[in-house]
Amino acid sequence: MKRFTTTILIIFLLISSGLNLVSAETEDNCTMMMSAQEEEELKIRTEEERTGEIVSASEDGHYNISFDDGYNGYCINYGDHEASEGHNFTVQDTTEAINRNSNECVGNELKTFFVEYHDIALKDEIITQHIIWHFSDDFTSWRVDPNLLEAIKNISRQRIIPDHGAVKQINNTTEAVFNFEVLQSHNPGHQNFFAYKITYRDILKIIENETNINNSTLKNETQYNSTDLENKTTENTTIPENPTNNSIQITKNITKETEQKIEPKKSNYERHNLMKHQTGYNYIPAIIILLFGTILLVKYARD
């Protein structure tokens, strides 16, 4: 009886291990097939989840200073103490960018400026700081173009720019991806910051990555099918040896195989998606283990 119980326990453990191995392999295959769009969405979610994280200033100052999370920031509290290297800040979303006089959120106006007037925002740090202070503290400066301020306000009323993942095409080959946050100071009377991070990517490379799986493979396989059809048709084409009246009579004998509709083969990406739902073949090792265990069970039962 003791041997019988031990055998059953061993069989159960072996089957469980086999199923766990199959499950892990399937999950790994799914991860490997993550598309470029899914990777981009994951990056955005990762940035959004940073709310509440603590970061530190990497240098002293109040305009375009760097922080240890890879962002740069401009002061949004005119007249307060500037940041010092090592000062801590809490990451918040851009709704925390507030005009201190009207108590209204100006986060979308600041994001609009950086996205729609990207070249101006990066060209002159002083003008950029003055524009930010205009929205956060009603600051006025002869260096700031009032027409530009009005344009920013008008655009911000029509479009809500997300804190993470906003895209702006810079030229025919490059686009910029923007991420924004507000950094709240841990020191009373010190400035908070409107922070940004810009990454650049090659448009042609993005298009190539997006179409490589779905289009390139399908195109190559379709061309193969077309060439195969052409070869089979040519093989069954006869031309008379003595053409007359400057014309050539061509007799084509199309086989039943070439008459059939040729369906393009599924791409590797499509085949993988089908395989993810047809997982029966993954349980073959478990079935073998179960069969082996059953044989042992019958043997010990007879003994």
Q: Are 84 and 60 spatial neighbours (Cβ–Cβ below 8 Å)?
A: yes
Q: What pLDDT score was predicted for residue 279? A: 40
Residue 287, strand partner residues: none
Give me 104's structure tokens: 């209204």
**What distances in angstroms separate CA 144 from CA 113, 117, 175, 288, one per listed residue?**
13, 13, 27, 77
Model confidence, pTM: 0.58
Nearest Cα to 289, choosing from 12, 26, 22? 12
Q: What is the pLDDT of residues 3-42, one digit of tens each?
A: 666 666 666 665 665 555 445 444 444 344 566 667 767 7
Averaged pLDDT for residues 211-233: 55
Q: What pLDDT score was predicted for residue 20? A: 55
Q: What is the pLDDT of residues 141-192, one digit of tens each?
A: 888 899 999 999 999 999 999 999 999 998 888 999 999 999 999 988 899 9
pLDDT band, very low/low/confident/very high, at 297 (cuts 50, 70, 90): low
Q: What is the pLDDT of residues 261-278, one digit of tens each?
A: 444 444 444 444 444 444
Cβ neighbours of residue 98 under 8 Å, at least 6 residues apart? Answer: 76, 104, 105, 106, 136
Cβ neighbours of residue 275 under 8 Å, at least 6 residues apart? Answer: none
Across 28-32, 123-127, 147-151, 215-219, least confident range: 28-32
